Amino acid sequence: MTRPLILLTGATGYIGSHTWLALLASGFDVVGVDNFSNSSRETLNRLHRLSGQTPDFVEADVCSAAAMDAVIRGRRVAAAVHFAAFKAVGESASQPLAYYANNVGGLLTLCQAMQANDCKTLVFSSSATVYGNPQQLPIREDAPLSTTNPYGASKLISENMLRDVEQADAAWAIALLRYFNPVGAHESGLIGEDPRGTPNNLMPYITQVAVGQRARLQVFGNDYDTPDGTGVRDYIHVLDLADGHVQALRYLLGQRRGITANLGTGVGYSVLEMVRAFEQASGHPVPFEIVARRPGDIGACYADPSRAREMLGWTAQRGLAAMCADSWRWQSQNPHGMAP
Ligand code: NAD
Ligand code: WQD
């Protein structure tokens, strides 16, 4: 049986690299595209070691129409998974045009190249950020959508654009996957989240404190309406997230119909619960101090993951202990990230 070929954009990034391995293990072939704007070439060596095969990779910018056309035209691409985007919320507020150009412009260019080559199956990386400050928990996919920053707006604009594309041409089948808070790493410790500069997100900050690179975690507020007052999120292991993409592709290629689905566990943990779980998994202390709320933050956010279970046959399998143990293995084996 032939293995369907999947185009992964943003393929050497955090979620892309884990999804690449999951796809190879699940009977798909992969061609990866990245411009290394937020990842390292070393990822390809690690993928080679982990998969036992040379990664089929093209260094290219998804905003280049000629490059995207060339990648798709020369191959029998069955579907694309579009991870490539900028993702720093704070930076998006200071550089909105860069975010709209890369996130919306890149998606537009990719879709045009796909359409021109009659490849109309797409999985898009959306985010729980499109729910804004949720009024009801757990969050269902039909909850009201809103955004509070240009990054979130770029995801909502992208979702709207893709809904229009599907509406206009029934040959398109598109999955809008709304990720909650991805953490963890491959259990080998060879690939994981590799942020540049000071991490914006909680888990990489915690791991850098535990490994001794940073003195202490700042906990952004302990006066939220949550059990211990600190922010509550739905952390999901990146390997579960990767499996969610495999299931979404099977659904799209089998059913020829689109879907919007949350990818989360349905369980929320507070910042202090995360600190304690990580200390336990790593055996290292994580000193912290309580500081003011981070502007734009919300108190609690966790998914109702039942649609993904019912329609995709997918549920997250890995719990908090595995998320922390795998994040720690990656950080402790690679204290300076991917850089060789
Ligand atoms: P990441 O930064 O690790 O990966 C993105 C990859 O895309 C990087 O390797 C980067 O070099 C590449 N890239 C960016 N712009 C590009 C361009 N113009 N051309 C080619 N490559 C380009 O981020 P990630 O955490 O793996 O996120 C993947 C996707 O998931 C993004 O779309 C992100 O917005 C979305 N998402 C992430 C999270 C999260 O917390 N990590 C949550 C929800 C949604
Ligand atoms: C988690 C909790 C913080 C850092 C962001 C984006 C969202 C999505 C995922 C892409 C919150 C607290 C954090 C720290 C802390 N990305 N915290 N000290 O804010 O849920 O979501 O990343 O789509 O769009 O907004 O994740 O990891 O930044 O924060 O106390 O140094 O940890 O206040 O309660 P968030 P996060």
Nearest CA residue ID for atom 34, ligand 2: 231
Tokens of 322: 């595995």
- Please give the single-letter amino acid code of residue 330: W
pLDDT value at residue 3: 96
3 state DSSP class of 57: strand
| Tokens linked to 90 | 């704070």
Kindly give the distance from the C-alpha atom of residue 181 to the centroid of ligand 1, in angstroms, as a whole number. 13
Q: 208-221, pLDDT tens digit by residue? A: 999 999 999 999 99
218 lines ligand 2 (CB under 6 A): yes
Q: Hey, what are 77's tokens?
A: 């691409």
Question: Which atom of ligand 2 is nearest to 293's Cα?
Answer: 33
* Residue 19, both tokens: 């999804």
For the question of whether the overall pTM of this predicted structure is more than 0.85, the answer is: yes
**Atom nearest to 129 CA in ligand 1:** 43
What was the pLDDT predicted at 339? 78
**pLDDT tens per residue, range 130-145:** 999 999 999 999 999 9
Does residue 72 register a pLDDT over 70?
yes
- Residue 64 CA, chain-centre distance (Å), reads 22
Q: Are the C-beta atoms of 39 and 192 separated by less than 8 Å?
A: no
As for ligand 1, residues whose beta carbon falls within 6 Å of it are 9-10, 12-16, 34-39, 61-63, 83-85, 87, 102, 106, 125, 127, 179, 182
CA 126 to ligand 1: nearest atom: 44
Stretch 163-192: mean pLDDT: 98
For residue 14, give both structure tokens.
Answer: 């955090």
Residues 6+ apart with CB under 8 A from 146: 130, 131, 132, 133, 156
What is residue 61's three-state secondary structure?
coil
Q: How far is CA 119 from the centre of its chain?
A: 23
Q: Judging by DSSP bridges, how do beta strands 232-233 and 300-301 pair with one another?
A: parallel
Catalytic residue check, 205: no
CA-nearest residue for atom 4, ligand 1, is 13
Q: pLDDT at position 87, please?
A: 97
CB 116 within 8 A of CB 108: no
> What are the residues facing 139 on neighbouring strands?
303
| Banded pLDDT at 90 (limits 50, 70, 90) | very high
Q: Which residues are within 8 A (CB) of 276 and not within 5 positions of it... i.e. 6 or more apart?
A: none
Task: Give pLDDT, residue 340.
Answer: 62
Distance 260 CA to ligand 1 centre (A): 19
What is the 282 CA–ligand 1 centroid distance (Å)? 27
pLDDT at 149 over 80: yes
Mean pLDDT of the chain: 97
91 CB within 6 A, ligand 2: no
State the average pLDDT over residues 290-319.
97
Residue recorded with tokens 């019912």: 310
pLDDT value, residue 74: 86
Query: Which of 38, 42, 183 is the best mutation target for the ligand 1 pocket, counting ligand atoms within 8 Å of the beta carbon and taking the most?
Result: 38
DSSP notation for 77-106: EEEEEE------HHHHHH-HHHHIIIIIIH
The string of pLDDT tens digits covering residues 54-63 is 999 999 999 9
pLDDT band of 64, cuts 50, 70, 90:
very high
Atom index in ligand 1 nearest the CA of residue 179 equals 43
Dist CA 232 CA 224 (whole Å): 9
CA distance 28 to 34: 19
